[in-house]
Amino acid sequence: MKDTIILAYSGGLDTSVLIKWLQEEYDVDVVTFTMELGQQTDLKKVADKARSLGAKNHYSVDGTEEFVQNYVFPAIKANALYEGKYPMATALGRPLIAKKLVEIAQKEGAIAVAHGCTGKGNDQVRFDVTVKALAPDLKVMAPVREWGLCREAEIKYAKEKCISIPHLSDPYSIDQNLWGRSIECGPLDNAEQEPLEEIYELTVSPEKAPDKSEYVRIAFEAGVPVVLNGKKMKPVALIEKLNEIAGKHGIGRVDHIEDRLVGIKSREIYESPAAEVLIEAHKDLEKMILTRHELEFKKQLDEKWTWLVYTGLWIDPLREALEAFIDKTQERVCGEVKMKLYKGACWAVGRSSPMSLYDKNLATYEVETSFNQAHAEGFIELWGLPTKVANILKEKVKKENIC
């Protein structure tokens, strides 16, 4: 009886080649696994292809709902934008895929799990660390990394083994789920070259976006979106609809130089229409509800949470500990934000909340205000006292040449 390896299978060049390669190199049974995370994969087509290549068994899992509830929603609460730009669509999906890999491996009695990550990217870390943390005795195999496979060698092998691979002429590497889409490689490796419009699918160019702005109203409860334009919606449907609305206005495009965990600077292109709008709306609502102290401290924790997820440490206890604080702050984050969408940009133009700390009677510059301006003089004196004393001493030292 042969040993079994579970392969995370996408249906693309890398993982299609790996089915045959693993069978031949290790004389094992290969069980494949594909996960739907909102990228609209034809699961039946992928399963049929895997079996045609010799997979002993295939698992198709729709994890979109779990992805949104347990991974995307925490990211919204943490205003997660790696290096201020990347909504981390791929980074958020990998630990869920790794968790399911482990579950299937345990069910099948497999000796190892395998993925098609290279040795240059972040995904290898996300898969390996998560699997090893959840199942320390389970071996993790990364054939592309271990054997140093290149695209040309894979294509040659695919032709030798009669493995049908569509779009071999496509120079781009693409990953997509409900939260966003990443595009890499090919002409994009030239950091000076503007991306061609052909790479985008979720967004139109701002130049071709409508000349008239559009408003969307997003209501949050406990820090997560629940209502769009007055209609209560299920999480997946809400994000899908907002992707559609914001995408047609050219919102969500990111082109930046990113610091990968492995130390490489890479040019990354992303499309995340709903993510950009929701995170911007959430940040705006938080500013109305949380105290200055909470906001300043939470910003540090948000950045740390984002860094942990980006670097493959979703399973780390620190991420859970940070989330406990973040979740506590989100208990009060409820209300509605009105966002304006226009030509590739979005911004908040109105907000309201029953938990708002904004008091018009205090903030107004009108005569009729509850703010006692007489208190300001004493406050200013005490606030500036350390600065005043330091500068008095500075001048004294200078005049008397003390030091």
Count of H-run helices and E-run strands, the chain: 15, 14
pLDDT score, position 368: 67
Note the pLDDT tens digit of each residue in 52-63.
999 999 999 999
Query: Residues with catalytic annotation?
Result: 14, 94, 123, 173
pLDDT score, position 134: 97
Question: pTM for the complete prediction?
Answer: 0.92
Mean pLDDT calculated for residue range 144-170: 72
Mean pLDDT calculated for residue range 365-369: 65
Q: Which two tokens stand for residue 275?
A: 């993510």
Bridge partners, residue 248, by sequence: none
302: Cα within 13 Å, side-chain hemisphere = 23
Percent of the chain exceeding pLDDT 70 equals 96
If you average pLDDT over every residue of the chain, what do you get? 93
Q: Which two tokens stand for residue 74?
A: 């925490």
User: Residues near 286 by Cβ (< 8 Å), separated by ≥ 6?
Assistant: 79, 295, 298, 329, 333
pLDDT score, position 142: 92
Mean pLDDT calculated for residue range 235-257: 98
Whether residue 225 is predicted with pLDDT greater than 80 in this model: the reply is yes
Whether residue 363 is predicted with pLDDT greater than 80 in this model: the reply is no
Note the pLDDT tens digit of each residue in 166-207.
655 578 888 999 999 999 988 999 999 999 999 999 999 999
The answer to whether residues 258 and 56 touch, using CB atoms and an 8 Å cutoff, is no
**Residue 361's pLDDT band (boundaries 50, 70, 90)?**
confident
CA 211, CA 231: separation in Å to the nearest integer? 26
